[in-house]
Amino acid sequence: MRLRLDFAYDGTDFSGWAAQPGRRTVEGELTAGLARVLRADPAPRLTVAGRTDAGVHARGAVAHVDVEPHAWAALPGRSTRSPQQAAPIRLAGVLPDDIVVRSVRPAPPGFDARFSATSRHYRYLLCDSPHRLDPLRRREVVAHRRGLNVEAMDAAAGRLLGLRDFAAFCKRREGAGTVRTLLGYSWRRTGDLIEGLVDADAFCHSMVRSLVGAVIAVGEGRREVDWPLAVLTAGRRDPAVAVMPAHGLCLERVTYPPDDQLADRARQARAIRVLPGTPHHGADRV
């Protein structure tokens, strides 16, 4: 049976999501925790909606895992809780404090945490007055020592929306495409903080932090408002685009279609994506 997990983590002390030999990762800790409470050997394999890099946080992460029905049914032990009620409590007892599983429940038919998703929503936090930064938020806010024109950043960000090839803002990976639909990208000042919201159907490696770096150059006055769009149109990485620090970035939520559309969405997302009128070259998947 397939289970859906909704969880959050502080990415500070993790080497990212993906399991790596000799490194502490979110996937590694969560897999070990599930294996322990389900008494599963071998450990179950997780599929996550979005892999995060080292230091990136998540408040609304989603994953799925396939388990034996008898293991799920046995999870409450001698308690009177249902498996769905017992799962987060049991996991809280074995997971480290920087991972919290909010819910575990049977997934509807056709659900795939990765391919059924319609969008991923990220937030990036900056403070351009470091002397005013709350030290309790230093793990989630990037201190920026130059004043920023947030209105110019927002204007530059808005020019990047739509279905485009984001190769200029992605680290290349063999076999991975770079065509994405940027659904929303905006900046605003909220008190002492500057908040960037970035939404897309999917993201490629380092895309969000590069998008932030591009508009930071505009906010500092070093580049014109149209410069990030010119970089995007050029279609190649520009050394003038900084990949911003990871700890300012957080995966806020992942959205899915109604249950009766999950399987269709997963089939669509697995298909190769190209820009209209462009011959396809390799896979371009979520």
Sequence letter at residue 255 = T
Global pTM? 0.92
Q: Is the pLDDT of residue 284 over 90?
A: no
Give pLDDT, residue 277. 63
Give pLDDT, residue 111. 97
Write out pLDDT tens, residues 47-57.
999 999 999 99
- 278 alpha-carbon distance from chain centroid: 28
Give pLDDT, residue 286. 37
In 215-278, which ranges are E strands? 249-255
Q: Is the pLDDT of residue 273 over 90?
A: no
Give pLDDT, residue 272. 64
* Alpha-carbon distances, residue 103 vs 3, 16, 62, 65, 89 (angstroms): 10, 21, 10, 13, 9
Give pLDDT, residue 285. 36
For 29, other C-beta atoms within 10 Å of its C-beta total 18
Interatomic CA distance for residues 225 and 153, integer angstroms: 7
Residue 42 in contact with residue 68, Cβ under 8 Å? no
Residues designated as active site: 53
Write out pLDDT tens, residues 106-154.
999 999 999 999 999 999 999 999 999 999 999 999 999 999 999 999 9
Residue 159 in contact with residue 229, Cβ under 8 Å? yes
Q: Is the pLDDT of residue 281 over 50?
A: no
Strand partners, 186: 197
Residue 229 in contact with residue 223, Cβ under 8 Å? no
Interatomic CA distance for residues 48 and 14, integer angstroms: 16
Question: What's the chain's average pLDDT?
Answer: 92
